[in-house]
Amino acid sequence: MIARVLPDVGAIHRVFDYLVPPELERDVAVGTMVRVTLQGRRVGGWVVAVADEPETDRALQPIAKVRGMGPPPALVDLTSWAAWRWAGPRASFLGTASPPTAVRGLPPAPARTPQPTAPVADDLAKEALAGGRRVLRLPPARDPFPVVFEAARLGPALVLAPSVAQAAHLAMRLRRNGFAVAQHPRDWASAAAGGSTVVGARAAAWAPLAEPAAVVVLDEHDEGYQEERAPTWHARDVVIERARRAGAPCALVSPCPSLESLATAPLVAPSRSEERAGWPVVEVVDRRKEPPGLGLFSERVVTLAREGGRLIAVLNRKGRARLLACVSCGELGRCEVCESAVEQTDAGTLRCRRCGAERPSVCLACGATRFRVLRAGVSKAREDLERLAGRAVAEVSAESTDAVGDAPVLVGTEAVLHRADRADAVAFLDFDQELLAPRYRAGEQALGLLARAARLVGGRRDGGRLVVQTRMPTHEVIDVVVHADPSRFALVESARRAALRLPPESAIAEISGEAASPFVAALGNDGVSLTGPSAAGRWLARAEDHRRLCDGLASTPRPPGRLRVAVDPLRL
DNA sequence: CGGACAAGCTGA
DNA sequence: CAGCTTGTCCGG
């Protein structure tokens, strides 16, 4: 018996043949994790195929050790596809699909799927999982659990949630309903044994179910599903492919579905009135019509902060002040080293955001020591709101570690929307910053923020309330919440993407690193067009679809040196 | 990736 | 020319 082994070594993308000693034959199959001798040293690797005859005349080495079970053959096969789709090494996908600690044997599979105790009847869930792929648009306040329930009823299903905490919560609810459940990656062995529905976050896209009976992705628009480091694989796209291969129904659930999903699957949505009920009331504060000098806070937000209900104010700017001007001469506060804008620290000094140089609060032009805040950050916002509201206001950012507790008023970056679990109102202090962010997905991302905030306040019948401060009150993203109709954004945005040839109207990859230049020189051909390099030394490869793009990337030899290829880059 | 080996550089 | 650095090649 011959094992074809892919070593778990960075720069090796080849498969090598090894002899399987007779006493190990029982333990070796496609997916098995082994240790082998390569060039005199021991390295880990995966058996990606078994054969009777070697492909070489060389003398074969025996497999040194069987480390344990690895991904099932269907997933080993899927890693080849993923390596093509995201232009990355197959070994990195095999690593994600492998157990966190060695698995020598599997627990017994549950004899049969236990009969759920309390059936949840839901026509939309049934329709979304009737067969093939569907986008299921459910408003933020509507519980998606019936979809998960319906999927698990069909057999061992694969269910993704954007965060580990949400996945754990779903697992608990499924268990309470009588289903056998495995949490990925903790229960890797149970998942591999079969018979259990598997629940997890991004990495669970690679959970070891042989063939899911159904696939559900909750909040499929969530950016947490995409890996930031190259290869930039997307969990949603991985499970879509798994569902396709298994012939299993696949429901992509979201209050604001991504254009990518809408472009490739039919939409299922509740009635207008049901959808409306699931979005909160939104108050749009048109800042163009307000008297000048109010700063970050409209009268409406100040009133809400005073009134008593729990208010969360969102401002996506960290620190105290992001842009300052001298009180006496009006000159902008800039770095004496690199001339970039300086920010004000909590200690009152000025710090450069680009190079980190710090200096006392002194104007470079006139020597005055006082500055006016032109663009406040959350720290300043917290101070101001506390003064205006006359009660304690807490600050929350990604860095702050204090428990949110039940502080009545919170000010924070968007991290606050992840840390708090409920609110009576959420106010976006500078929503234009989100709408106008220089990224092609800014609109989708802004809408995602509104949907997340909507979850914290609940639907309109629960008194849920969003306040959006903006100078673009008729922007289609705001329109979505005003009318509780996400298609208002999708229509406008997909036309815009088509005009600009941006995804999903094209497939793009960002290429950077020292080897980028020779790589793109060899790339530009059949169906792949190139732009670049940008100031940061990045190229953009674009094709009509992923097939053309990924074929082009795969057929181009990689020159030596560091090369980063980010297919479907999030930020652009 | 990391070991092997070859070619290139330095100093006595 | 020994002794060391740097570069290139390749793995079962």
Q: Using the CA of A39, which nucleotide's C1' is the nearest one? A: C11
| Distance between CA atoms of residues A433 and A57, nearest Å | 64
A233 touches strand C (CB under 7 A): no
User: What integer pLDDT is reported at residue A396 of this predicted model?
Assistant: 80
Contacts of A445 (CB under 8 A, 6+ apart): A223, A434, A437, A439
A363 CA – B3 C1', rounded, Å: 58
Q: Using the CA of A60, which nucleotide's C1' is the nearest one? A: C12
A561 CA – B10 C1', rounded, Å: 29
In this predicted structure, the answer to whether residue A71 has a pLDDT above a threshold of 90 is: yes
Nearest residue to A156 via CA among A118, A117, A192: A192
Residue A405: band (very low, low, confident or very high) from pLDDT cuts 50, 70, 90: low
How do strand A539-543 and strand A342-344 relate by DSSP bridges?
unpaired
Q: Using the CA of A55, which nucleotide's C1' is the nearest one? A: C12
User: What integer pLDDT is reported at residue A335 of this predicted model?
Assistant: 82
Residue A395: band (very low, low, confident or very high) from pLDDT cuts 50, 70, 90: confident
For chain A, give the mean pLDDT: 91
A523 CA – B7 C1', rounded, Å: 33
Nearest residue to A276 via CA among A489, A457, A481: A481
| Nucleotides in chain C near protein beta carbons (<7 Å) | 10-12
- Considering only CA atoms, which residue is closest to the C1' of nucleotide C11? A39
Residue A39 exposed, middle or buried by CB count within 10 Å (0-12, 13-18, 19+): exposed
A39 CA – C2 C1', rounded, Å: 29
| Distance between CA atoms of residues A18 and A14, nearest Å | 13
Q: Which one is predicted more confidently, A338 or A113?
A: A338
User: What is the average pLDDT across A105-112?
Assistant: 84
Q: Using the CA of A10, which nucleotide's C1' is the nearest one? A: B1
The string of DSSP codes covering A394-441 is EEE-SS--S--TT-SEEEESTTHHHH----SEEEETTHHHHHT-SSTT
A38 touches strand C (CB under 7 A): yes
A21 touches strand C (CB under 7 A): no
Considering only A4-8, A198-202, A310-314, A505-509, which range has the smallest mean pLDDT?
A: A310-314
User: What integer pLDDT is reported at residue A117 of this predicted model?
Assistant: 57
Q: Which chain A residues 1-30 have CB under 7 A to strand B?
A: 9-12
Considering only A70-74, A164-168, A202-206, A558-562, which range has the smallest mean pLDDT?
A: A558-562
Instruction: Enter the tokens of residue A466.
Output: 């969003």
Nearest residue to A60 via CA among A68, A69, A51: A51
Which residue in this structure is represented by tokens 């002040």?
A321
A6 CA – B2 C1', rounded, Å: 17
User: What is the average pLDDT across A170-192?
Assistant: 96
Nearest residue to A214 via CA among A130, A151, A298: A151
Considering only A84-93, A520-529, A538-547, which range has the smallest mean pLDDT?
A: A520-529
Contact A297/A388 with Cβ under 8 angstroms? yes
Q: Which of A348-362, A454-468, A485-499 has the highest mean pLDDT?
A: A485-499
A111 touches strand C (CB under 7 A): no
User: What is the average pLDDT across A110-137?
Assistant: 82
| Nucleotides in chain B near protein beta carbons (<7 Å) | 1-4
Considering only A30-34, A218-222, A379-383, A477-481, which range has the smallest mean pLDDT?
A: A379-383
Residue A462: band (very low, low, confident or very high) from pLDDT cuts 50, 70, 90: confident
In this predicted structure, the answer to whether residue A213 has a pLDDT above a threshold of 80 is: yes
User: What is the average pLDDT across A265-291?
Assistant: 94
A15 CA – B6 C1', rounded, Å: 28
Contacts of A247 (CB under 8 A, 6+ apart): none
User: What is the average pLDDT across A231-252?
Assistant: 98
User: What integer pLDDT is reported at residue A571 of this predicted model?
Assistant: 83
pTM (predicted TM-score): 0.92
Residue A264: band (very low, low, confident or very high) from pLDDT cuts 50, 70, 90: very high
User: What integer pLDDT is reported at residue A496 of this predicted model?
Assistant: 95
User: What integer pLDDT is reported at residue A532 of this predicted model?
Assistant: 76
Q: Which chain A residues 45-104 have CB under 7 A to strand C?
A: 54-56, 58, 60-61
